[in-house]
Amino acid sequence: MRSGIFGAQHKIISSRVPGSVGEAFEILMENRGLDAVSISGELKDLSGYLSMRGMEEGALLMARHMARASKIVLVGDYDCDGITSVAQMALFLTEVGYSNFEAVIPLRREGYGIPERAVRENPDAGLFVAMDCGTLDRKPIALACSLGADCIVIDHHEVPPGEVAPASVIINPKHPECPSTFKEFCSAGLTLLFLAALRRALDGNFPSPPLGGKYMALAAIGTVADLVPLVSANRIIAGSGLRSINFHNWPPVVMLADAAGIRERAITAGHIGYYIGPRINAAGRVSDGRIAYELFTADKAPRMGDIARELNRLNSERQAEEESILKMIAERLAGRPPTTRTFVMADPAWSHGVVGIAASRVQQEFHYGPVIILAADKETSTARGSARSVPGFDIHAALQQCSDLLIKWGGHKAAAGLTIMTEKIPLFTERLEQIAMSCPAEIFTPLVKIDMLLPLELVCDELIEALRRLEPHGMGNPAPLFASRNTEFTLRKFFGKERKHLRLGFGNGLEGVFWRGAKWLPDMSPGEKGRLDIVFQVAWDDFYKKPSLVIKEMGRFLQ
């Protein structure tokens, strides 16, 4: 293990250097603890999760309300997971002919959770169904119950003891009484399972539509975009959903892919993470999450196209705000390396809709442990924002230790949201750092896990096909990462709006792209040759129709 750029530790998992594509695939399977069964899970393997705590009870409760034509209010968070969950539920109700329902997507300024207006504006509702929120929303759920309504919560956030909302039914695999062996579902995946249970509970009183197609697509998009581990049941949901997206051409996703410029490509989990998910999230970040919900529930293609283009515009606006925040932070740091394990910063100029993704970028680019970026409000003297953590540091548990300083908070081990009085930020920053300092130092040292040293002559069509068997990639199942020592390359060109990206040439016509790589080769000119260690992924180049490298690092840091 050696230190590379940013002080990262580089660990090559397997010491074997493959002599063939078959051997390389064998090493990848060993590195991930996979076998033929674990990479070929099918939808039928999800049936066991229908016995999850509350699943059958909740389905029977909703079926009873549908039988007596109760008004049903669907509430979901304003992010991709919440929106795809509510969209699934709304599409199902519409498809079975049930029209007495309302959908509520909160505005981000209302904060995370069920907004009280959802209850107050629907006093005649018989049932509220909260998705991707609700576990800790004691006040709005108590209000709904006081008006005589039932409440079903379908959620996946952490469940602190003694703080659970008084819902009629809570479906949350992280509930201490839930026996589910798999705990890492997101709400979109749980909603798909709930619909399977509901379809059975309706017992012929309504039509029974198949839950493939659009339902699988939405469950996959929510699962990938919410960054839950793509292992076990999530792998089945994501893989099945991606197949549905690519073979059934559901118009809302087609329109969104077209707006993102990836219409002609086979959609992968990476495309959802980088193109589809951000455009859905952009609605809630800089405008109104309901815009994205309406894309999935619109019934006319022209309307879908208009909404997809609007989401694309909102995403561009989000990107500009994000870059502005990153630039301001970089200027304040002025190139200084991290001197603390944690990072907390607030500013009234920042939009609370963008601070979450900015926190992720700060963590990646400046290599702090937990990062908290806050949008301050001078009028209320409060700040609201997002936390992002590193593996091994439970940000939810850390915030719990700081709860006396916070107005509101919630989330899970890797990400959370919080609201705090601005005057308490210094004390909060100090305490968070103390908590981080009590943890082992290696948690806060970036660790780059490289699968193996891969001879570049093995980068071929056969390797591309082998790697596809490991998809979908995401949290818990990252795309394979390879390395090559003292590799000769030719700098082909600088490209991009600010000429900050590189195209590099290697032997046998193999080329690669190093996004934002220009700063690592500042003294080279196009046509020059060099030798460096490289860390890379293997991808299919849609434009040139051949395998290529996606360079992640270059330097001299491999033993």
Query: Domains in the chain, please, with CATH?
Result: 2-38+447-555 (2.40.50.460), 43-312 (3.90.1640.30), 337-444 (3.10.310.30)
Handedness of CA 170, 173, 177, 181 (dihedral sign): positive
pTM metric for this prediction: 0.86
pLDDT of residue 216: 96
At 526 the pLDDT is 93
pLDDT tens for residues 163-182? 899 999 999 999 999 999 99
Per-residue pLDDT, 338? 67
Per-residue model confidence (pLDDT) at position 266: 87
% of the chain surpassing 90 pLDDT = 74
Average pLDDT of the chain, as a whole number: 92
Round to whole Å and give the CA distance between 230 and 472.
Answer: 7
Tokens for 148? 């005589």
Tell me the pLDDT band of 356, cut-offs 50, 70 and 90: confident
What tokens appear for 293 in the block? 């919900």
Using one digit for the tens of pLDDT, what is the confidence trace for 314-328? 999 999 999 999 999
User: Greater confidence, 237 or 212?
Assistant: 237
Looking at residue 5, its pLDDT comes to: 39
- How many other C-beta atoms can be found within 10 angstroms of the C-beta atom of residue 430? 11
**Amino acid residing at 66:** M
Q: pLDDT-based confidence at 2, cuts 50/70/90?
A: very low
Kindly tell me if the per-residue pLDDT of 558 is higher than 80.
Answer: no
pLDDT at position 337: 60
pLDDT higher for 537 or 475? 537
Alpha helices in 171-300 (DSSP H): 187-201, 213-225, 232-248, 251-260, 269-271, 277-286, 290-297
19 — pLDDT class (breaks 50, 70, 90): very high
Which pLDDT score is estimated for 335?
A: 60
pLDDT of res. 435? 96
Q: What is the pLDDT of residue 6?
A: 39
DSSP state of 474: B
- Determine what percent of the chain falls in helix, strand and coil, rounding each to the nearest 5: 45, 20, 35
Flag the least confident range among 47-61, 268-282, 423-437, 467-481.
467-481
Higher local confidence (pLDDT), 409 or 335: 409
Answer yes or no: are the C-beta atoms of 137 and 84 closer than 8 Å.
no
Average pLDDT for residues 465-491, to the nearest whole number? 91
Segment 218-222 shows an average pLDDT of: 97
**Confidence label for 63 from pLDDT (cuts 50, 70 and 90):** very high
Cβ contact 399:415 at 8 Å: no
Q: Please give the pLDDT value at position 140.
A: 97
Q: Are the CB atoms for 385 and 360 separated by under 8 Å? A: no
Q: Given the structure tokens 């549908």, which residue do they identify? A: 66
pLDDT-derived band at 38, boundaries 50, 70, 90: low
pLDDT tens for 121-154 read 999 999 999 999 999 999 999 999 999 999 999 9
- The tens digit of pLDDT for each residue in 414-452 reads 889 999 999 999 999 999 999 999 999 888 887 889 999
324: tokens are 């502005």
Q: Tens digits of per-residue pLDDT, 265-299?
A: 889 999 999 999 999 999 999 999 999 999 999 99
**Model pLDDT, residue 226:** 92
pLDDT over 50 at 3, yes or no: no
Q: Are 357 and 227 in contact (CB under 8 A)?
A: no
What confidence category does residue 357 fall into, taking pLDDT thresholds of 50, 70 and 90?
confident
| Residue 4 pLDDT > 80 | no
pLDDT, greater one: 350 or 263: 350
Phi-psi region of 59 (alpha: psi -120 to 50; beta: other; left: phi over 0): alpha
- The Cα–Cα gap between 407 and 33 comes to 42
Beta carbons of 173 and 55 less than 8 angstroms apart: no
Compute the distance between CA of residue 12 and CA of residue 407 in angstroms, rounded to an integer: 44
Q: How far apart are CA 37 and CA 290, in angstroms?
A: 40
Q: Mean pLDDT, to the nearest integer, of 359-371?
A: 84
At residue 42, does pLDDT exceed 90?
no
Closest to 219 in 3D by CA, of 199, 243, 197 = 243
